[in-house]
Structure 1
Amino acid sequence: MSHQKIALTPEARSTALAQALIALETEFELRTEFPSEVLAEAERAIADFELPPIDRREIELVTIDPASSTDLDQAVHLSRSDDGYLVHYAIADVPGFVALGGNLDAETRLRGQTVYLPHRRISLHPEAIAEDAGSLLPNQDRSAYLWSFSLDASGELMHTALERAMVRSREKLSYTGVQASIDSGQAGQMLQLLREVGLKRIELERLRGGASLRIPSQDVECVEGTYQLVSDAPLPVEDWNAQISLMTGMAAAGIMLKAKVGLLRTMPAPAQKDIDIFRLQAQTLGATWAPEQPYGEFLRSLDLEDPRQLALMHHATSLFRGATYSAFDGELPQETVQAAIAAPYAHTTAPLRRLVDRFALLVCSYAATGQEVPAAVREVLPSLPELMNDSNRVVNKIERAAIDTVEAASLAHRLGERFSAVTLTGSTEENGNGKSGGILQLDSPAVTARYEGSVSPGTRVEVELLDADLDTRKVRFRILDS
């Protein structure tokens, strides 16, 4: 069988791809420009902004983010104490720039969150705030909500304090750079403590029954005008750093529950039928799962280098459903726990990028100091779950569409070629097209796509590319007979 390959130069493919990605902004009706009155209000807020009188610039904070990030929400510092650890975590003072009821506040409610696309970032806030005045850039005096955590020797949280203070980040670090310095033994004490505390917090998460999906990320990078797919498992330092953020979110939830006002991020425990199905999938794929072992511990035991266990990790997404937001004022919500974290939790640490965090910070800052949460804040809380859930749905769809677009473009000139892959799902039954099939992941490039053929999940296969259409964003393979 012969195949007609699409003879586009890399430059032409890049141009066609760039146009297709830009078209997604219109298709999903993204708000790509800020109205003039919003920009004017943001500039006035920056000009009139006053740093808080509490000065904590002596704390040697650093930020740890992807290397290209400029919207820096968090800065961290860790030190030893007599009986454990002291952790300082500074969160960007976005509430100080956004007047409740103003034009900028209204615009952020329409946006919900920052959208990260391969070709651009569409910010929640104007760049003058997101990348400059509100960002915890190094060697700049900034206002922040400064959390101070006292931990015991096991990493358990013993005491929490929160204040609005002036801070100064000493350095902008990257995940890859921090990981390399730790692995080589070159890291200073603060970064060594990040590892030490992070590992202890991970162990505490295990003990309380928490769980996490460790599916390798699939990201799109632009390299010299050409878009490429990259799939990498998270670095250990990302997990250690995430534990500081999770601890903050748990502390924030505790403050709001005690005050009986706030907004939680909740998720129900997986239904027993979903766990039973997942156990059968584990058995089918040859994984050993002891009856008494919690699903979180089982997921931690999986080796993602093993194709069958990678497929099983993808199946585990069925256990992480139903995440939402729950606002409350006076009467506590029926559901207060985020099941994957195994504790009450609130989104609090990314106010530059997520609408809900700004209001959680405001509630916590009043409640933590025994003050009444203002009515102007309380009256907004009931509307936030719907705003955030709607925003999440749109962002999930456009991010998936962007990856599908890049996948199709990266393969459009390779019709008929053969690839090595592993099946993530599989079926011996016919689908609506009269053909059996499922989802697979190529070894290279990092593409996840549909295939035709009858094969069990977790099987290493050789496949042929049948279709890669940039307009429809569809990629399709068929299993070759072994």
Structure 2
Amino acid sequence: MPSSPRPVPDFAAVRAEFALPDAFPPAVLAEASRAAAERPGPGPGRRDATDIALVTIDPPGSKDLDQAVGVERRGAGFRVHYAIADLGAVVAPGGALDADVRRRGQTIYLPDGAVPLHPPVLSEDAASLLPDGPRAAVLWTFDLDGDGEVVAAEVERAVVRSRARLDYAGVQADLATDALHPALAGLPELGPLRRAHAVRRGAIELELPEQEVVPDGAGGWTVQVRRRLDVESWNAEISLLTGMAAARIMLDAGVGLLRTLPAPDAEALAAFRRAAGELGFAWPEGASVAEVLAGLPADTPSTLALRRAATTLLRGAGYAAFDRDAGVAAPDDPGHGGIGAPYAHVTAPLRRLVDRFGTEVCLAVVAGEGLPEWLRGALPELSEVMAASDTLAGRVDRACVDRTEAALLHAHVGREFDAVVLRPGQADGEAGEVYVPEPPVLARCTGDLTAGALVRVRLQEADPATGRIEFAAGPRGSF
């Protein structure tokens, strides 16, 4: 008797559940088309920087290219150029497009297609840093010493030209064969230096398995674990470098919008230290959480459990708008606990609303100009908009992964799997959490669980319609 076909996850149902918009209003499309037809060129207030070698590095097939990077050795140190798509040049304050993107907040990504922040005529064409000619950009220039410390930073409007659209796997392969694009010549040296800086700052890197939904090659979908390549981590450090520089500009000027995350409190740190001890990890004298996490062996069961425990240290993320002239002071703790420094979003304006406004603040401050009223007035409103859109994006992503996992497992209810215990059940009756490597699934699990243990679990439920999955671990030795 032939087996029944595997259920297909219903991403249309996810879109409906979260009321995601399926189109842009006509007035928004018309305004975007008019903006796309205007291509700012070099001139007063916009430098001709088309001579600088820049490339983009993004997932394969991406068209909404926010950043182009160039890293070169300069004397005993480095020079970094980081060009960011200039949305301030195409979105008119107070227009229909501006109003619509303020409602959306950010691009929402689903496996079968994105719900974009901006109409594709801008986000995937006119405003994207595609390698097909000069593009308007906001250009950050950093000079760093031989240890990777920033000694000078500048930001200005420019016209740039990307030399190539690259992807992470391709750049990693080029690195292995000494075929790296000349625009990235300094990245293999600078990247590890900046990663070391992150550990010294106290940046908390979880490095848990990152699930993503991808086509299965047979018309359906599957879940895979995406491993972050060295090149991707190094490129991320350039983005963080830029966000930290933007935060410093804002704090010095007394006006801006920070991305904040409270430093872990004493109770959370004590609980994490206990978890490390229970899992068999020594805590070197004077070591920070960042140093302990950075020194963990790769992908052992205990490592996965401790990284899961570290998520409790990263709670309370938010946005903090401040304006000294309006009587609103910067927060007492302006830092981001996961980064180890104050930080502001400015590097992804095609995909995230707040970055356009943060960029405009930096440009105005560096130019010695006062903030225009439309910008100053928007800052307090953005915190709530971004918090809501961050929550929505996270819930949509989780729903897509959960429903794909459930579709993969639906026919296997009652089957046993090997799993790693990430978190035992809680005293209030909340189920624990396990990671099943094949297929890669994170799910609830009831029963006798010890963090970091390898266990045999039985699949109790897998509902593709809701994404609910539950395993059970019986008494030791019962399976």
Please tell me the residue identity of whatever aligns with 1:302: L
Deviation at 1:189, TM superposition (A): 4.9
| Per-residue Cα deviation, 1:233-275 (whole angstroms, up to 9, x for no partner) | 3111111001100010011111112222111111111011001
Structure 2, unpaired ranges of 5+: none
The residue aligned with 1:340 is 338
1:470 aligns with 2:468: no
Distance 2:197 2:459 in 1: 46
Deviation at 1:428, TM superposition (A): 8.5
The residue aligned with 1:368 is 366
Distance 1:212 1:45 in 2: 39
Matches within 5 A, 1:73-222: 73-222=66-215
Q: Which of 241, 251, 261 is the matching residue for 1:247?
A: 241
| Per-residue Cα deviation, 1:128-175 (whole angstroms, up to 9, x for no partner) | 001000110113210000111111111111111111111110101111
The residue aligned with 1:311 is 305
Please tell me the residue identity of whatever aligns with 2:240: L
1:34 aligns with 2:57: no
Please tell me the residue identity of whatever aligns with 1:293: A
1:44 aligns with 2:34: yes
Distance 2:441 2:338 in 1: 27
| Per-residue Cα deviation, 1:216-238 (whole angstroms, up to 9, x for no partner) | 21111124421110113311111
Deviation at 1:215, TM superposition (A): 1.1
Matched residue SS, 1:412: helix
Moved more, 439-448 or 199-208: 199-208
Deviation at 1:188, TM superposition (A): 4.5
Distance 2:440 2:315 in 1: 25
Distance 1:234 1:213 in 2: 12
1:379 aligns with 2:359: no
Residue-pair matches, total: 468
Matched residue SS, 1:63: strand
The residue aligned with 1:415 is 413
Distance 1:357 1:116 in 2: 18
1:443 aligns with 2:433: no
Deviation at 1:397, TM superposition (A): 1.3
Deviation at 1:183, TM superposition (A): 2.5
| Per-residue Cα deviation, 1:362-412 (whole angstroms, up to 9, x for no partner) | 111111121222111111111000110011111111111111111111111
> What is the CA RMSD across the aligned residues, in angstroms?
1.8
Checking the alignment, whether the CA contact within 8 Å between 1:309 and 1:458 is kept in structure 2 is yes
Distance 1:176 1:167 in 2: 25
Checking the alignment, whether the CA contact within 8 Å between 1:441 and 1:449 is kept in structure 2 is yes
Deviation at 1:44, TM superposition (A): 1.2
Moved more, 357-366 or 394-403: 394-403
Please tell me the residue identity of whatever aligns with 2:5: T
Please tell me the residue identity of whatever aligns with 2:465: D
- Percentage identity across paired residues of the two chains: 44
Please tell me the residue identity of whatever aligns with 1:175: Y
The residue aligned with 1:397 is 395
The residue aligned with 2:263 is 269
Deviation at 1:97, TM superposition (A): 1.1
- Relative distance call for 1:140 and 1:408 in structure 2 (3 A) is same
| Per-residue Cα deviation, 1:81-120 (whole angstroms, up to 9, x for no partner) | 1231111000001111111111111111111000011111
Please tell me the residue identity of whatever aligns with 2:103: L
1:280 aligns with 2:274: yes
Please tell me the residue identity of whatever aligns with 1:86: R
Deviation at 1:198, TM superposition (A): 1.1
The residue aligned with 2:14 is 24
The residue aligned with 1:231 is 225
Matched residue SS, 1:379: helix
- Relative distance call for 1:24 and 1:286 in structure 2 (3 A) is same
| Per-residue Cα deviation, 1:271-317 (whole angstroms, up to 9, x for no partner) | 11001011111111111112421111111112232111111101100
Distance 1:61 1:83 in 2: 21
Distance 1:384 1:364 in 2: 16
Matched residue SS, 1:246: helix
Matched residue SS, 1:391: helix
Checking the alignment, whether the CA contact within 8 Å between 1:52 and 1:164 is kept in structure 2 is no
Checking the alignment, whether the CA contact within 8 Å between 1:7 and 1:413 is kept in structure 2 is no
Distance 2:378 2:282 in 1: 48
Structure 1, unpaired ranges of 5+: none
Checking the alignment, whether the CA contact within 8 Å between 1:439 and 1:449 is kept in structure 2 is yes
Distance 1:262 1:223 in 2: 44
Checking the alignment, whether the CA contact within 8 Å between 2:72 and 2:185 is kept in structure 1 is no
Distance 2:427 2:81 in 1: 55
Q: Which of 4, 11, 35 is the matching residue for 1:8?
A: 4
Deviation at 1:6, TM superposition (A): 11
Moved more, 216-225 or 312-321: 216-225
Checking the alignment, whether the CA contact within 8 Å between 1:260 and 1:328 is kept in structure 2 is yes
